[in-house]
Structure 1
Amino acid sequence: MTSDPDYDVVVRHDATVETRDGTELATDIYRPAEPESGEPIAEPKPALLVRTPYDKRERERVERQGNWYAERGYVVAIQDVRGRFASEGEFYLLKNEAEDGADTVEWLAERPYCDGRVGTMGTSYMAWVQNALATRDPAPLSAMFVNQGAANAWTATLRHHGAFELRWLTWALTIGGGFAKRALDDPDVQRRLAATDTRDVLASEPVVRGQSPLRWIPNYESYVFDYMTTPGSDDFWTDPSINFEAHYDESADVPTVYAGSWYDSYAKATCDNFTALADRKESDHFLLMGAWTHGGQSTWTKPYAGETAFGAAMTRDYLETKLRFFDHYLKGRETWDEPRVQYFRMGTGDGTSTTAGRLRHGGEWATGTDWPLPDTEFVSYYAHGDGRLAPERPAETDSATTYEFDPRDPVPTIGGNCSSYYTFEPRPESIEELPVADRPTKSLTGRGGYDQRTRPETFGAEPPYGPLEERNDVVVFRTPPLTDPVEVAGPIRVRIYASTDAPDTDFTAKLVDEYPSSADFPSGFALNLTDSICRARYRGYRREPDFVEPGEIYAFELELYPTANVFEPGHRIRLDVSSSNYPRYDVNHNTGDELYGGREYHRATNTVYHEADHPTHVELPIQPS
């Protein structure tokens, strides 16, 4: 039985944690208190640490992290990370989190009200900092619940084969920069940021150092451009606060849950961490993957993602799940008997429309002993010249499809593994009346499963609106309608054989579950499952840029985010190939210039090959029927 809410709570605000370099981090401490007297209990308790850039005093964080767990017998420490809100120092996204976090764990364990055991928890940035501090292996660290965190910022999350995820720019322009100390303290900076429409910034890309709205908060502009432009070979990308993969061997060996979801921006990293560490470490490790979008408690209780409904069976209580885990590993209670791997298998719905207009894609929870699942058969589905996608390798000796990629007209992003692609919502109040930190935000891309067709609200789309597959720069390969269900669960890999007339370009791939037409969806429904991108100069997982020779054929390897889905009879498995997905990823100008170095554009002629010697294909993790 889990811990009951037996206690009152007493809070000490802004306790000071001094890091190894002398920076003071403001930390609120929530302690269990006697219900009658309101005095802190005398018995030391395990501690739970949350480190956040989003204000430790935010109401929901106070209630759902501080008070909720303290009432159930935990000491809870919620800390503003370096340079944010009440903590000293200058904020530089992700830097210093390994050392600052480890120092905080050590400090917390030494408090007389802590029994020496410290667990960590949190989502997104608050998950990232957990893996960072684990690379320093602080002795008191005893358990981690990492919900939607990173693994290697170069291979996925910040950059993908060199391409940049623009959510880090939009985050800096909105909920990041909006809470920057300079923005909060200087009314003039407040006004300038509040007047910024992220859509305008993206529409006039590329953003240029010293000319972007971030120039008013220089430390934010500095880190954004560092992440945008630093070559992969730089030691910058092996920092323990940025790349945990490089430090797996020395990372802490403690019970850990890696929780995530198929439509989260950290889906690949979540699975990568579990796969690498579950067998490398002796402690119990768990993988829990839903089909939610990015977020914690409020997201876990939603039975849908974007325009796609999965049913109430997918919902879970995030707070209770963490409590059961920590009660078991920090208090020794018999509250956690979860399988090593559990994941939500999407699909098997009837394909009708909910009252909210969402597709009933359905699904159910499944379990396994490892990831990828032990009985997985990796099967290649090959592109063919007639547009087919089939397990048979093409026999043609000369077969290719050519398209024009205009970087001034990129393929719009419609849902997917997106988070933080924000702009401030227009409001009737004047800018002076509403501080930037209080302005509501709106997603530019949507999150989750969407029918892959543009509509008036699609960023970057112009009429006539319609399916992305009708664009001249999207090459589509699809299976015939399936006669039997095909279940996939695991990593998705694509190899595109292609050439270009440019010194540099991009190639993108997207896996789609294509529904047939129905009464509720007369045009069918092209459900995006996962995607990725490869920048030509960084093809083949290279870290040093190497420009391509125009006209020469290269293999471009793409690791799409993992997924789990049942393609039902009558559906088609579809692979979309193109050269852009904006604003999920930045746009390659095809010039070969330095990234963000100029405003020249080159219209590239790109060719995808589907022939015997150059068989473009997707490798699917097929599960036994």
Structure 2
Amino acid sequence: MKIVHQVGLRATMTDGTELVADAWLPSDGGRYPVLLQRLPYGRTVASSLVLPHPSWFAQKGYAVVVQDCRGRGDSGGTFQPFVNEGADGAATIEWAAGLPFADGRVATYGFSYQGLNQLYAAARRPKGLCAIAPMMCASDPYEGWTYEGGALRWPFACFWAAQLAGQDAHHPPVPFDTSMVPIIDALGADPPRWFQEWLAHPEDDGYWTARRPDLQAIEVPAFSVLGWFDDFSSGTAQLVGSLGAEAWFGPWSHMPWGTLHGGIEFGVDGSPSGLPAALLAFFDRVFGRNQTASKPPVRYFVINEGWREAEQWPPPAHTRRWSAVSESGSALSRWGDGRLLEIAGEDKRVLGAPVPVVVEPHAPVPGGPIDYQDESAIHDRRDLACFDTEAFGEDLVIAGSPTVRVVTRSDRPRHDLVATLCVVAPDLSARVVSSYAQRMSHGEQVGTERHWEITLRPIAVRVQAGSSIRLTLGGSRFPCYDLNAHTETQSAHSRREEQVVATIEILAADIALPVVDKLPASGSAAD
């Protein structure tokens, strides 16, 4: 099929600003459903580093329109992340539905920011919108995008700001330094205004509320993709659950969607090779081109097993809970006396003795985003509390988001708590499968007990017989998160000499795992 490529289509927004798009469509002069993507990185890219090129969809009988967001590429106006995507997206959808080659129906698609901006537009319910496909994106510009439990997602915030700032001048990302203190100077002396705003609003306040899409207002069908090792996995899981979306959950990171993580190759079975066909089938069903009933809407990859299917995420599971125990309070490092003992229901065990975790901002626990890496050597540090189960006598399948409950006491008004879940193999390697952070404020209650609950990232993994699980609790993970100065007055302008040592006493802790014991009815992994 011959494809026509139209360049420089102009859409006028409600304030008169013109946004520019390109289109790919069959050459036979017909009218087609439109697949729309809007992005801030240049419309010629069209997310083709991870998604099929627009011409591929055009070969399947769709018209594809890819637009530069406001203030990006050739589009007019000023780019402000998150701010104009609702109005601009809704106006563009209605414009695209009326193009000469359109049949009046539109679906949106894209990943990362191209996923998040769909949510703003869909919440406005524009005429002509039939479906959305937001993939590997958070559903909230604060939680799971810029911050995580109040801790700044530092490598992402730096790189994304540097990328956008560089593209303003048609250059590569501007130089940045994640080790810079104060962190406001990480992009140099004159960072973008919106970068300064992100750092000036570390709490989930009105700044973020005004930029949060209304998921409850979205009524059209949705398709999504989640990567176990994507930084947005928690937000994507929330999106899938809120929208009841069809979804694939696989062993992939944000970009590229590859299968090699932590030196382990997940192979052909773990590849995303089936995703283009799955996305196309979703669009075909939405537009009535294929009446074949879809398989169970959620397809997820279980590490050490393969693919399963479910009617929803998370899949049906029962909760098993383990309590942290340290008889002498020396559960520091993997060589300490920290254990995880399984408990029934809400039964609680006494930790034994408080475990003191000393957090030195000038020598933080090293660590980046989760990528199934072996962190056994890091667990030699005595500023990490480590709690291990006994080796399992049979396989244990975890599918969902583990939760960690912790009781702490600290000598400082603020501290972080980073929880990681690792699978410890017989060779003592400890591969991280899930984690999350929480920035904790004791305020005027310094030295008093505080109770916290942390929901970890979603994961599906078969813990094989002979292996065990390890819960680690620490006060830092750098550069994954910005350093906590442990002062009530901490800000993006805090200097290195203002950072002080904190001692966190862990008084009690437990972890709840969503466990799926049985294989699918066929007795093997889903096809």
TM > 0.5 fold call: yes
Deviations 1:29-77 (A, max 9, x none): 222104xxxxxx1x21000001111211238749933211112211111
Given candidates 236, 248, 259, the residue that maps to 1:303 is 259
2:319 paired residue number: 378
2:423 paired residue number: 513
Post-superposition shift, 1:157?
2.1
Structure 1 residue 489 and structure 2 residue 449: aligned?
Answer: no
Q: Distance in 1 between matches of 2:277 and 2:71?
A: 32
Post-superposition shift, 1:10?
1.6
2:436 paired residue number: 532
Deviations 1:129-158 (A, max 9, x none): 112211111121111222112112333221
Deviations 1:561-606 (A, max 9, x none): 1111111111111101001111111111101114213211110111
Q: Is the 8 A contact 2:415 2:475 kept in 1?
A: yes
Q: Is the 8 A contact 1:502 1:591 kept in 2?
A: yes
Please state whether the residue corresponding to 2:133 is helix, strand or coil: strand
Relative distance call for 1:215 and 1:17 in structure 2 (3 A) is: farther
Alignment of 1:223-622 (within 5 A): 223-230=194-201, 232=203, 234-239=205-210, 242-244=211-213, 247-251=214-218, 253-278=219-244, 285-295=245-255, 299=257, 302-315=258-271, 316-334=273-291, 337-347=294-304, 363-374=305-316, 376-385=317-326, 386-392=337-343, 395-396=349-350, 399-416=353-370, 448-453=371-376, 467-517=377-427, 524-537=428-441, 547=443, 549-599=445-495, 600-610=498-508, 616-622=509-515
Please state whether the residue corresponding to 2:499 is helix, strand or coil: coil
Post-superposition shift, 1:228?
2.2
TM-score scaled by length of structure 1: 0.76
Please state whether the residue corresponding to 2:483 is helix, strand or coil: coil
Relative distance call for 1:213 and 1:227 in structure 2 (3 A) is: closer
Given candidates 3, 8, 15, the residue that maps to 1:14 is 8
Post-superposition shift, 1:552?
0.9
Segments of structure 1 that go 5 or more residues without pairing to the other structure are 1-6, 35-40, 185-189, 279-284, 348-362, 417-447, 454-466, 518-523, 538-545, 611-615
Q: Distance in 1 between matches of 2:500 and 2:71?
A: 40
Q: Distance in 2 between matches of 1:265 and 1:212?
A: 21
Relative distance call for 1:47 and 1:584 in structure 2 (3 A) is: same
Given candidates 107, 111, 118, the residue that maps to 2:95 is 107
Given candidates 24, 45, 65, the residue that maps to 1:30 is 24
Please state whether the residue corresponding to 1:373 is helix, strand or coil: coil
Q: Is the 8 A contact 1:143 1:329 kept in 2?
A: yes
Please state whether the residue corresponding to 1:249 is helix, strand or coil: helix
2:44 paired residue number: 57
Q: Distance in 2 between matches of 1:48 and 1:493?
A: 38
Please state whether the residue corresponding to 2:287 is helix, strand or coil: helix
Q: Distance in 1 between matches of 2:457 and 2:81?
A: 23
Post-superposition shift, 1:233?
5.0
Please state whether the residue corresponding to 1:602 is helix, strand or coil: coil
Q: Distance in 1 between matches of 2:15 and 2:478?
A: 40
Q: Distance in 1 between matches of 2:151 and 2:467?
A: 32
Post-superposition shift, 1:249?
2.5
Given candidates 118, 126, 130, the residue that maps to 1:138 is 126
Post-superposition shift, 1:381?
1.2
Q: Distance in 1 between matches of 2:312 and 2:290?
A: 25
Deviations 1:478-498 (A, max 9, x none): 001111111110111111111
Q: Is the 8 A contact 1:486 1:622 kept in 2?
A: yes
Structure 1 residue 202 and structure 2 residue 169: aligned?
Answer: no
Q: Distance in 1 between matches of 2:381 and 2:135?
A: 37
- The percent of aligned pairs where both chains have the same amino acid is 27
Given candidates 61, 68, 82, the residue that maps to 1:73 is 61
Q: Is the 8 A contact 2:133 2:224 kept in 1?
A: yes
Relative distance call for 1:397 and 1:54 in structure 2 (3 A) is: closer
Structure 1 residue 624 and structure 2 residue 517: aligned?
Answer: yes
Q: Distance in 1 between matches of 2:351 and 2:299?
A: 44
Relative distance call for 1:132 and 1:16 in structure 2 (3 A) is: same
Q: Distance in 1 between matches of 2:153 and 2:420?
A: 16
Please state whether the residue corresponding to 1:561 is helix, strand or coil: coil
Q: Distance in 1 between matches of 2:249 and 2:351?
A: 42
Structure 1 residue 213 and structure 2 residue 187: aligned?
Answer: yes
Please state whether the residue corresponding to 1:14 is helix, strand or coil: strand
Q: Distance in 2 between matches of 1:266 and 1:59?
A: 20
Post-superposition shift, 1:263?
1.1
Post-superposition shift, 1:234?
2.6
Given candidates 70, 75, 79, the residue that maps to 1:91 is 79
Q: Is the 8 A contact 2:161 2:195 kept in 1?
A: no
Post-superposition shift, 1:548?
5.1
Post-superposition shift, 1:318?
2.9
Relative distance call for 1:274 and 1:327 in structure 2 (3 A) is: same
Q: Is the 8 A contact 1:83 1:89 kept in 2?
A: yes
Post-superposition shift, 1:9?
1.6
Q: Is the 8 A contact 1:171 1:177 kept in 2?
A: no
Segments of structure 2 that go 5 or more residues without pairing to the other structure are 327-336, 519-527
Relative distance call for 1:58 and 1:368 in structure 2 (3 A) is: closer
2:522 paired residue number: none
Q: Is the 8 A contact 1:324 1:336 kept in 2?
A: no
Deviations 1:315-368 (A, max 9, x none): 223322222221221242246622122111112xxxxxxxxxxxxxxx310011
Alignment of 1:144-163 (within 5 A): 144-163=132-151
Q: Distance in 2 between matches of 1:565 and 1:202?
A: 32
Deviations 1:67-105 (A, max 9, x none): 111122111110111111111122222221111111110
